[in-house]
Amino acid sequence: MEQTISTAGWVMLAFCGVLAGLSKTALPGAGILAVPLAAMAVPARASVGLLLPLLIFADLFSAAYYRRQAQWSCLVRLLPAALVGIAAGFMLMKHLDDRRLAPLIGAIVLGMLAMKGRGFGASADALKGHPIFAYGMGFAAGVTTLLANAAGPVMTLYLLSMNLEKDKFVGTAAWFFFVVNWVKVPFLWHLGLITPSSLLADVYVFPAVALGAVGGIILLRHIPQRLFEILTVVLAAAAAVKLLF
């Protein structure tokens, strides 16, 4: 694969790597641009398998650095449902593609973000503290990460509802995706989306991922909590709009 990528393609993939690292350690959702950029650098189907190892490499930085900030109580509720969601997504791949699912997820995320902007009512506050809410969001994240690469805005929405501090937000998201992305590997390998050739191309982009991850760690230290929440909501909304169209 690496022989067929143009110079401009390598530049775009390097930028994808920086975005992947930055999104994992500072700004969840910043990696939304990586998806279309990667699809411009290589064929769209191949870009799915190319991106996943880059995200996993970025996960290593975020999961290690923020390991003490992760809220394991949230993860215990989310991960089992997410794993079931990944299996369900794999089973649904022959019947429901991302062109059908992505707009639906985008509309739901935008609607719930709008509700958050207006303030949750008492009933909504009770809902977000209920285990069913966590199970439902975990399952949705699992399904959408396999079918539509849309788990980012789903997880952002859930973690925002938990009112976590920025370090705990990033740490919890880091460990969630660290587990989920590794679980996805055999599925994408089975589908032929991850190959020895794509992995070799990933190795060339790893330094850019490391640069973005380290830069994100430094950046997060200087971002006020309120600005972090605003940027997170804006990026989640951008991701949802992308899913819609």
Question: Is 128 or 88 the better-scoring residue by pLDDT?
Answer: 88
Q: pTM for the full model?
A: 0.83
Closest C-alpha among 106, 195, 200, 186 to residue 149: 106
Cα–Cα dist 143/31, whole Å: 19
pLDDT band, very low/low/confident/very high, at 232 (cuts 50, 70, 90): confident
pLDDT band, very low/low/confident/very high, at 84 (cuts 50, 70, 90): very high
Q: What angle do CA 173, 33, 86 make, to 5 degrees?
A: 45
Closest C-alpha among 90, 1, 8, 9 to residue 49: 1
Joined tokens for residue 104: 């639906």
Residue 123: predicted pLDDT: 44
Residue 122: predicted pLDDT: 43
Interval 100-124: pLDDT, tens: 656 766 676 676 667 555 544 444 4
Among 127-131, 180-184, 206-210, which is the least confidently predicted range? 127-131
Is the Cβ–Cβ distance between 110 and 243 less than 8 Å? no
Residue 121: predicted pLDDT: 43
Is the Cβ–Cβ distance between 16 and 54 less than 8 Å? yes
Residue 91: predicted pLDDT: 83
